[in-house]
Amino acid sequence: MRTCRECDTPLVGRQQQFCSISCRNRSNGRRVGGWNKARIEIACENCGIVFTVPPHRVKTARACSKPCVAALHSRERRGKVGLGDTNPIWKGGIQTYRQYRKDSCERCGSDIHLLVHHKDKNRYNNALDNLETLCRRCHAIHHDSARFLPQGPRGPRTRFPQACEWCGATFVRAAGHLTQKFCSRRCANRARATR
């Protein structure tokens, strides 16, 4: 009767040499639990705890956990990476103006959906006298992009006076007509006739 080469358990099949995969792996020098589970022990450079890694990571693994990696990196980079324009990934301070946002809109007093508006439209000019805190509605009105704001129950939420492109008269757009350019149908027809 034939037996397993590793544990001497009786075998049933003709071509079999081992009773199980774990016996085959043990016999071939592999760890129990699957293919190529060999591990090498190394010490963490931060805390000194011994941990195991696969053979291909022996040269690159330096720490036992993410907090240890973070501590290593912060220790190595201390003094090398500066703040502001001395930092190598400094982008010119384009996003720093957001810290000057106030608690309410300077035009309507709303305290929701607040943005920081550049009066001269230069996002790199972050001088305090160039910045103004606006709500999304007032900002859209200022840039004449109110047509992108949500609709209210009686048309658009932003209705403001504008000049007719034909006669120059001041009018308020009709509810729901966000692209209206003329004060009346007569002005629209006249403008169409001259095209």
Q: What is the residue-wise DSSP string for the chain?
A: --B-TTT-PBP-SSS---SSHHHHHHHTTPPTTSS----EEEE-TTT--EEEE-GGGTTT---SSHHHHHHHHHHHHTTTS-SGGGSTT---STTGGGGG--SS-TTT---SSEEEEETTS-TT---GGGEEEEEHHHHHHHTT-GGGSPEETTEES---EEE-TTT--EEEPPTT-TT--SSSHHHHHHHHHT-
> In which band, very low, low, confident or very high, does the pLDDT at 156 lie, cut at 50, 70 and 90?
very low
85 belongs to a structural domain: no
Question: pLDDT for 65-109, tens place per residue?
Answer: 999 998 998 888 776 766 666 666 666 666 677 778 888 888 888
Containing structural domain, residue 104: 96-143
91 belongs to a structural domain: no
148 belongs to a structural domain: no
Q: Are residues 111 and 121 in the same domain?
A: yes
Query: pTM score > 0.75 for this model?
Result: no
Report the number of distinct structural domains present in the chain: 4
170 belongs to a structural domain: yes
89 belongs to a structural domain: no
Question: pLDDT for 117-127, tens place per residue?
Answer: 988 888 778 88
Q: Are residues 10 and 26 in the same domain?
A: yes
